[in-house]
Amino acid sequence: MEFTKMNGLGNDFIVVFGEKDLPIGVDKLAVDLCNRYFGIGADGLVYILPSERADFRMRIINSDGSEAEQCGNAIRCVAKFVFDNGHTDKQWLTIETLGAGVQQVELTVEDGKAAFIRVDMGEPILEGLRVPTTIDAERIVAHPIEVDGREFSFTAVSMGNPHAVIYVDDAAGFDLAAWGPKLETHPMFPRKTNVEFVTVNSRNHTDMRVWERGAGPTLACGTGACATVVSSVLNGLTDREVTVSLKGGDLLIEWSEVDNHVYMTGPAAEVFRGKL
């Protein structure tokens, strides 16, 4: 198996191209390959597959073997991979995802390579049961949730995958390991959830740290950054165009008033190639 190691702001993936579908036993394969001590090491295993609906199809298997419906950093890696390796010459691509349908991707090309990728992440899902949560409400904004005697307030957003956005005084210093897994698996989230801990610095800038469902703490989460901006607008904390600072770098997120879509712009990078 030939693979390419890639990352979007440090959120890293083992990218495989050329298969027609996922192999049998891909869940165990992902666990083994993503192991940072005995494998290649990554947050997830990404397959770029043929699509009947779009230019390419993306499937993402998390480091614990579960499948992610969508990943903003992975889709940027996929777009860069197919363009840089000559599998397409389009600077406007469509990529099919499991949970968010077909998404539009725009490439900014420098010296023949994709430098920045702008992704139309689609409309956010805000209805409680569709996120999903166990709460039947049109929107879940600043809703209380208790874990081990500590109460948080979360706003629920789906970007094709579920997110619980929580505001804290110091996102950069927040203890992800203590609270992330407990919130991820809280009974209020029937398919578990990604958890974003956010500090708002201004109307156009936030800090965010993430506990990703199925992967744990990662350096960046594209869908999480999108969910953060949607949540921040709903809570009256930011404008609709925000720079979200993650541990691995910055993403520019815009929640458009024109079409209600969320747009994400950021880089992706190739790290190395190998054969297994």
Q: Secondary structure of the chain: what % helix, strand, coil (to 5)?
A: 15, 45, 40
* All domains in the chain, ordered by first residue: 2-121+266-275 (3.10.310.10), 128-260 (3.10.310.10)
For range 173-196, the mean pLDDT? 97
Residue-level pLDDT at 190: 97
**Region 112-120: what's the mean pLDDT?**
97
Among 34, 71, 77, 226, the active-site one is: 71
Percent of the chain scoring above 70 in pLDDT: 100
Specify whether 71 is catalytic: yes
pLDDT at 112: 96
Please report, in range form, the residues annotated as the binding site for substrate.
Answer: 11, 62, 72-73, 161, 194, 212-213, 222-223
SS3 state of residue 7:
strand
pLDDT tens string 138-155: 999 999 999 999 999 999
pLDDT classification of 61: cutoffs 50, 70, 90:
very high
pLDDT at 263: 98
The mean of the pLDDT values for the chain is 97
Cα–Cα nearest to 264, from 273, 254, 272, 249 = 254
Q: What is the model's pLDDT at position 128?
A: 98
Catalytic residue flag (residue 221): yes
Secondary structure (3-state) at 55: coil
pLDDT band at 216 (very low <50, low <70, confident <90, very high): very high
- Give the global pTM: 0.93
**Residue of 34, 77, 221, 226 marked active site:** 221
C-alpha dihedral sign at 185, 187, 191, 197: negative
Percentage of residues of the chain with pLDDT beyond 90 = 99
pLDDT bucket at 58, cuts 50 / 70 / 90: very high
